[in-house]
Amino acid sequence: MARAMREVSVVIPTMNEEASIGAVVDEVQTALGGWDLEILIVDTDSSDRTRDIASAKGARVVSEPRRGYGRAYKTGFAAATGTFVATLDADLTYPANRFPDFLAAVVEDRADFVSGDRLSALSDGTMTGMHRVGNEILNFAFRSLYDSGVRDSQSGMWSFRRSILPRLELIHDGMAFSEELKLEVIRAGLRFLEIPIDYRVRVGRKKIRSVSDATGNLIWLARKRVGWLPRG
C-alpha cells in the first residue's frame, strides 16, 4: 500500500547525533504543529542512540550507509512524500521555529526555494573564525563565478516544493551539495529567496573540516563553472 501524501516532509541527515536529535525533532514538531508532517531522519551508520531517540519521537528513520552530506539529502528527497520539503541539520544550529516563514513564502508563491541566511546577523561565538572565513571565501567565489547575489551559499536550512527536484541536476554527494542545490535552483530560473536567521552553537561533535571542506568546495565551484562536473 502506498504511503499517504504528507503536506511537508522535513529531512534531517544524522550521524551520531544523540545529544541533539531529540530536541531538534521536538522543535520541528512544535514549529509545524499545524501541518500534516513527516520527519525523515536519514542516518549514516550511527553507533549511538540517534535512531532510537528519533524513532521514539515519531520520526521515520531511513538508513543510508553511503557517506556524504549530499548523498544523505538525495536519499531523503527520494523518500519524502510531502508536497513541500524542508531541511535542517541535526545539531540544533538552525532555528526550526522559522519554518513557518520559509514555507509561507513558497505557499504564497513569493518564492520557489527559500534558504536561511546565517551570516547577516551572526552572533559572536556561534561560528569559529576559520569557519567564518571559509564561508566568506566560498560566498565570494559563488557570487563571482555565477554572477549571483546569494548571501550564504553554504546554508543548510531550506524549504521548497518537492515538484521542483526533477528540474535540478544534483550530482555531488559531499558538502558541495549545498551550493550545488542553490546554483541549480538559480540556473533553472526558479525564484530564490534568502531569509536571515539566527544561528546557534552546535550541540555534539563537530564533523565539518573547515579547511579541507572549504578547499574542496571551492575547487568544485570552479570545475562546475567550466563545465567539468565530477561526481561525488
Tens-place pLDDT, residues 88-122: 999 999 999 999 999 999 999 999 999 999 998 88
Mean pLDDT computed over every residue of the chain: 88
pLDDT tens column, 184-195: 999 999 999 999
Does residue 219 lie in a domain region? yes
Does residue 3 lie in a domain region? no
Does residue 232 lie in a domain region? no
Does residue 94 lie in a domain region? yes
Q: At what angle do helices 21-31 and 99-107 cross, to 10 degrees?
A: 50
Question: Domain with 82 in it: what CATH number?
Answer: 3.90.550.10
Q: At what angle do helices 129-146 and 210-225 cross, to 10 degrees?
A: 0
Domain with 37, as residue range(s), is 8-225
Asked if pLDDT for residue 227 goes beyond 80, the answer is no
Does residue 2 lie in a domain region? no
Does residue 82 lie in a domain region? yes
- Could you give the number of structural domains in the chain? 1
User: How far is CA 150 from each of CA 14, 78, 81, 158, rounded to the nearest angstrom?
Assistant: 26, 26, 29, 14
Does residue 230 lie in a domain region? no
Does residue 109 lie in a domain region? yes
